[in-house]
Amino acid sequence: MAILARKWFAAVVCSLALPAVADDAVTRIEIDATHPGATINRDIYGQFAEHLGRGIYGGIWVGEDSSIDNIHGFRTDVIKALRKIKVPLVRWPGGCFADEYRWRDGIGPRDKRPVRVNTNWGGVAENNAFGTHEFFQLVDLLGAEAYVNGNLGTGNPREMAEWLEYMTGDSDSAVVQERRKNGRDKPWKVDYFAIGNEAWGCGGNMRPDYYADLYNRFATFLKTPPGAHPHMVASGGTGDNTEWTDVLSRRINHNIDGISFHYYTLPTGEWGDKGNATGFGEKQWISTLWQTLRMETFIRHNEQVLDKNDPDKKLGFYVDEWGTWYNPEQGREPGFLYQQNTLRDAVVAALNFNIFQRHAERVRMTNIAQMVNVLQAMILTDKDKMLLTPTYHVYDMYQVFQDATSLPLEIEHPQSYQLGDTRVPGISASAARGQDGKLYLSLVNLDPREARQVAVDVQGAEVTRARGRLLTAAAMDARNTFDAPEAVEPAGYRASADIGQLTLDLPPKSVLVVSLN
Ligand code: AHR
């Protein structure tokens, strides 16, 4: 009753305080701070680094002899930038690459490591300069957790078991001694370990039942010292197909902590002509947002399957590949998947975060594809130059949600944004109580033309001020370039209540993250 009365009051004062916008044009959000929900696992903001194009070589690793400033071979500029966004987790070495990767190629003296062909990505030479030791150096430098993807497709259980032993073993076995000889005495911590990748496709074109049997077989032999066991990941499905989640959650009977899921946002929804990263019109703006919002339906459908097969919620649903995927840029090697990143990518990232945060109970880990120079990257590099993408800035802004407690919210009178036959919600929102005890709200205005006002009420707290950062730009495809690396950056944002009502102004096509006091 009290809430109803306050809503009525808020509606009245809002129409008085904001004469320029009709009351029915104001979106109302009510956050319930009295019913905290699931913890938003910080691993939701994880990254993916595959041996693909310049994702590793040139982007992260340049080698100790490079003229580019580096820390033991790792680009100093890239490491510094990634540390700033507190990358919680890095998945490596693939992707499709993982199912052809021979881990022994990547250990021992670098000049003796064999050269292979990267058959998945451009057929280029892979000299294995970046291997297991370099990966753990990378996650150490970032202060991140390690997610290693094992080779099921072309490997065998012994090979996989020995890799895990090499990484985590503390005995005097021959495998562990080999690690010591290669310069690492103490075991590393493997936080997640996946058995294969996209088993329905590049990982071996299997049926889910066959993969489930193989998983059970491989998983039997993956042993670690007590307390060192990673979260074990079964490679699941994609898109709106829940069969993989269903079969894997019923047929895999041990050594499993979660099932992965992949979904890429293509503006057109067509792999043959996906749409371009820049120079698109409003039609592809809205279709991209529509395509990315399908993530919520996919998650919901998979959750329903998991709730049936795993009612105790032991299994996580790990979206370990997601992001935008555009046509290759003219003149670039198509197999390198390098693409520009615009304000549209920032909006896509924020929409997905709001979805993951709402489903934090099952969605406990995700990895955007990919960290540097590949697909929806945080960072682009060109020789010694580096730029931070609009997507990077969204990761930066959303740091406050790492390990926060999600809070339910309701959007009243939700308005939509429509173009032709395509309609999406006008506003996306998510709220949480951060680890610092503060209330945080993230908002996205999906409409590229109209500003929106959002009136915020919090059940269980009096809020009169919002402080945070806003990301927007004049053009839908606004981006940072090596000549203008700071064209798209977040700006400070402040709002205060007027006659007891906190109302936030959201410019068109914008992302806002604020703390509420
Ligand atoms: O991220 C690029 C590729 O997309 C990955 O290697 C593969 O798993 C997926 O198909």
Tokens read off for 193? 């370990």
- Give residue 10's pLDDT: 30
Calpha distance 365→87 (Å, rounded): 12
Calpha distance 63→69 (Å, rounded): 10
> Collapsing DSSP states into helix, strand and coil, what is residue 269?
coil
Assign 3-state DSSP to the chain and report helix, strand, coil percentages, each to 5: 30, 25, 45
Contacts of 117 (CB under 8 A, 6+ apart): 123, 124, 125, 126
Atom of ligand 1 nearest to the CA of 337: 2
Q: Are 154 and 100 in contact, with CB atoms under 8 Å apart? A: yes
Per-residue pLDDT at 309 exceeds 80: yes
- Give residue 253's pLDDT: 85
Is 178 one of the annotated active-site residues of the chain?
Answer: no
Is 198 one of the annotated active-site residues of the chain?
Answer: yes
- Give residue 414's pLDDT: 75
To test the pocket of ligand 1, the residue of 97, 99, 205, 321 to mutate (highest count of ligand atoms within 8 Å of its CB) is: 321
- Give residue 3's pLDDT: 33
Ligand 1 pocket, residues with Cβ under 6 angstroms:
50, 94-96, 197-198, 321, 369-370, 375
State phi, psi for 231 to the nearest 5 degrees: -70, 125
Calpha distance 106→121 (Å, rounded): 18
Residue 198 burial class via C-beta count within 10 angstroms: exposed 0-12, middle 13-18, buried 19 and up: buried
Calpha distance 74→57 (Å, rounded): 10
Residue 295 burial class via C-beta count within 10 angstroms: exposed 0-12, middle 13-18, buried 19 and up: buried
Tokens read off for 246? 């269903």
- Give residue 212's pLDDT: 98
231-234 and 192-195 strand pairing: parallel
Tokens read off for 21? 């916008």
The CA R_g of the chain, rounded to the nearest whole Å, is: 23
Q: At what angle do helices 208-220 and 157-168 cross, to 10 degrees?
A: 50
- Give residue 362's pLDDT: 98
To test the pocket of ligand 1, the residue of 52, 97, 200, 202 to mutate (highest count of ligand atoms within 8 Å of its CB) is: 202
Query: How much is the pTM?
Result: 0.95
Per-residue pLDDT at 430 exceeds 50: yes
Tokens read off for 81? 């930038």
Q: Band of the pLDDT at 23, cuts 50, 70, 90?
A: low
- Give residue 17's pLDDT: 33
Calculate the alpha carbon distances from 417 to 414, 420, 449 in Å.
Answer: 10, 10, 10
Per-residue pLDDT at 11 exceeds 60: no
Q: How far is the CA of 12 from the centre of ligand 1 (A)?
A: 52
- Of 126, 145, 198, 303, which one is the catalytic site residue? 198
Residue 404 DSSP code: P
Q: Are 296 and 346 in contact, with CB atoms under 8 Å apart? A: no
> Please, what is the end-to-end C-alpha distance for the chain in angstroms?
24
Q: How far is the CA of 96 from the centre of ligand 1 (A)?
A: 6
- Give residue 193's pLDDT: 98
Please give the helix or strand (H or E) that residue 244 lies within, else none: helix 243-251
Question: How far is Cα of residue 104 from the mean position of the Cα atoms in its chain?
Answer: 29
The closest of 8, 3, 17, 194 to 101, measured between CA atoms, is 194
- Of 162, 321, 361, 450, which one is the catalytic site residue? 321
- Give residue 21's pLDDT: 47
For ligand 1, atom 9, name the residue with the nearest CA: 95
- Give residue 20's pLDDT: 45
Q: At what angle do helices 174-181 and 157-168 cross, to 10 degrees?
A: 50
